[in-house]
Chain A
Amino acid sequence: MHFRSGTLTALSALALLVGACGPQQAAPSDLGPSPGPPVLPTKNPVPLPNASITKIAVAFDISGRGDGGFNDIAYDGARQAADELGAELREVTAKLDDTDDDRAERLRLLAGADYDPIIAVGFTYAAPLQIVAAEFPAVHFGIVDDATVNAPNVEGITFAEQEGSFLVGAAAGLKTKTKAVGFIGAVQLPLLQKFEAGYTAGVRAANPDATVEVTYLSQPPDYSGFGDPPHGREAALGMYDNGVDIIFAAAGGSGSGVHEAAASSNHWSIGVDADEYTLAPESVRDHILTSMLKNANVGTYTFVMSVARGTFVAGNQTFGLANGGVGYSTSGGFVADIKTKLDAFAAQIIAGTISVPETP
């Protein structure tokens, strides 16, 4: 039973991701928990007056929309909600040298211009949001990747990245022939270390003999690692030369370089956030084993719709395997032979018999 719900959760998460351009709720309701509005415990259930939604805003951190990954997915969820509600959707993006003050002002301007709800994407908005949320108590805010803002009108939208990473780690562990796999992270941030921790644990669980080589492309505040495909390619080629045969690229836009390296040296790579098999060029896609899915759209869509339906509750919502927030992709069919094993791991994680670490 656990096995079944794990499979279907991953499936329905995938369906929702693809469903961003099709009708919502594509997954039939008898197929386990649907990734619609999950009912989760909250720490501060203060109902706010429900206003009809006409203006929705998304505030991005420095990379912004157009990254073909996480930010775009987060935007898709808001886009879908806006389309369904017939609301205007506005996006703004941070600049490289922004301070907390600038970020606060960005949120303040949006709230002052009657945008409600407002989604802040990225943990750098946490401290500014704590201030601005108090100034606009009637506006609903959602913050992605942070659970620290404590206000009656703020929802933290966080993801159990380590759970999805565990599954692609297990896939790598099962598929490796050289017993050496790699992890390339974009920037050495705690957020990306969750991916690393989950991936490493997954590799170990599936193949205790395998080693994991880990590298990060840059270190904060140098965020170039998120958008530097040549750097990703070089790092990947170096790993492949060292005998690694599968690399998980948790590297944002740099991931395309890793996939290219996999294709040119005839190895496997693993995508992140989106189902990269469907996004990559044809020459490359047959080397993408699977992708770890971080369905930010589920989080942003759920948040906006909760405000629209008057079911908004403050506090943190974590989107993990159990509610379709993370998962792995099967496009290409390269993991079809190990799918039962992966889904068994998923079921164990959901059941709590496997506890995935968040720090390496």
Chain B
Amino acid sequence: MGRVRSVVLTVVAPGAALGLAFAVAWLILGLTGADPAATLSDALRYGIQPSTLIAVVNKAVPYYLAGIAAAIGFHLRLFNIGIDGQYRLAAFAAAVVGAAVALPAPLHVALIVLVAMVVGWAWAAIAGLLYVHRGVNVVISTIMLNAIATGIIAYLLSPLRLAQQAAGSNNVTTATIPDSGWVPGIPTAAGDLNGLVALATLVGLGYWIVLHRTTVGFEVRGMGLASRAATVAGIRAPRLALLTMAASGAIAGLVGLPQLLGTSHRFGLDFPAGLAFTGLSVAILGRNHPIGVAVAAFVWAFIERSAQVLDLAGVSKEVVTILQAVIVLSIVVAYELVRRIRARQERRYVANSVEGVRA
């Protein structure tokens, strides 16, 4: 009985948050002079077309990887804002290395993935070391490292150094990776699914296994639930923080690979920024759970994709940003409410049990 109620509570929170966000969207659309019912049903109808759904999944893959990277940090209350810089530096390095070597297909892809992970790992480890040895707040250091990563890439991504500019183009890119380093799409009736879906699945699985089936995972969870108790129990907090931060960075390094290996095959000025905040939001929304984060990434991508129709219908695309913000905000509130309700129930349960024992 208690367990059923607990599951219901877990599902009610995100459901209520989505409902609230939906209501706010309705209100904003009404205020901006659009017809809410027609606009939202247009967006929904477009959103559930098979080809759109495939595109949503493809868009959700980098969000999922960013979400898992953020979730790893969240266990120790480390806000890895640096996912953005880690991913871009990693994708850039992977693109350069990938274009420079020729290897049989599986090895080539594996090398690119490895380079991306190592670069992300190393870049995040800097923030981890600063935190552990100098007490530098991770939020601050990762924001600064993002800026440094931007500078490094801007310096190296130049026709004078590691990049090239095609005649008549205003884009600067690295050389194209030979096709042995491409990951083919998975063909479906409604279009190609990005092949990196498989990698994302592995990452999700690995995340769960490490967290729930290894000593390190146990230590991380223990430290997250009750840091003082964990420290008393002999878990070394600094070592764990460094490890967690670096692991978060290694996963963040993978974020750019769906685009790099699956579609563009080169790194250029058109690689998106801002994925750190998407990752953090998605991790919060998915409660750091591998499946929850997957659902959250899908919802996030779905909203963004459906928004294309809103823009076409003359509705400002900023509505979508407001919508996403409302979802995150209301989900935080909803989880807090659920936590309080649950705490009260537990207190009552304990009180009842104690009374029962006395009687």
**Could you say which of B25-33, B73-81, B168-176, B246-254 contacts chain A?**
B168-176
Q: Is A98 an interface residue (CB 8 A)?
A: yes
- Smallest CB–CB gap between B46 and chain A, Å? 8
Q: Is B219 an interface residue (CB 8 A)?
A: no
Q: Are A92 and B304 in contact (CB under 8 A)?
A: no
Q: Residue of B at shortest CB range from A359?
A: B159
Q: Are B150 and A189 in contact (CB under 8 A)?
A: no
Q: Are A100 and B264 in contact (CB under 8 A)?
A: yes
- How far, in whole Å, are A153 and B148 apart by their CA atoms in the complex? 42
Q: Is A340 an interface residue (CB 8 A)?
A: no
Q: A277-318: contact bitstring with B at CB < 8 Å (1 yes, 0 no)? A: 000000000000000000000000000000000000000100
Contacts A93-B317, A97-B273 given: A110-B312 contact, CB under 8 Å? Answer: yes
Q: Is A102 an interface residue (CB 8 A)?
A: yes
Cβ-Cβ contact count across A and B, 8 Å cutoff: 97
- How far, in whole Å, are A123 and B170 apart by their CA atoms in the complex? 6
Q: Are A220 and B305 in contact (CB under 8 A)?
A: no
For residues 137 through 185 of chain B, which have their beta carbon under 8 Å from a beta carbon of chain A?
150-151, 153-154, 159, 165-172
Is the contact region of chain B dominated by helix, strand, or loop, or is it mixed?
A: helix
Q: How many residues of B sit at the interface, in one of the four size bands?
A: 35 or more
For A95, the chain B residues whose CB sits under 8 A away are 304, 307, 317, 320
Q: Are A221 and B150 in contact (CB under 8 A)?
A: yes
Q: Is B275 an interface residue (CB 8 A)?
A: yes
Q: Are A124 and B269 in contact (CB under 8 A)?
A: yes
- How far, in whole Å, are A33 and B51 apart by their CA atoms in the complex? 49
Q: Are A221 and B59 in contact (CB under 8 A)?
A: no
- Among candidates A92, A98, A106, A123, residue contacting B169 with C-beta atoms closer than 8 Å: A123
- How far, in whole Å, are A188 and B154 apart by their CA atoms in the complex? 8
Q: Are A109 and B309 in contact (CB under 8 A)?
A: yes
For A145, the chain B residues whose CB sits under 8 A away are 170
- Among candidates B159, B263, B274, B312, residue contacting A90 with C-beta atoms closer than 8 Å: B312
Q: Residue of B at shortest CB range from A188?
A: B154
For B309, the chain A residues whose CB sits under 8 A away are 109
Q: B88-106: contact bitstring with A at CB < 8 Å (1 yes, 0 no)? A: 1000000000000000000
- How far, in whole Å, are A110 and B168 apart by their CA atoms in the complex? 25
Q: B283-311: contact bitstring with A at CB < 8 Å (1 yes, 0 no)? A: 00000000000000000000011011101
Q: Can you list 21 residue pairs at the A/B interface with Cβ under 8 Å?
A: A97-B272, A98-B272, A99-B263, A100-B264, A101-B58, A102-B304, A102-B308, A105-B55, A109-B308, A109-B309, A145-B170, A146-B170, A148-B167, A148-B168, A189-B170, A190-B171, A190-B172, A219-B153, A220-B154, A222-B150, A316-B168
Interface positions of B (Cβ within 8 A of A):
55, 58-59, 88, 150-151, 153-154, 159, 165-172, 259, 263-264, 269-275, 278, 304-305, 307-309, 311-312, 314, 317, 320
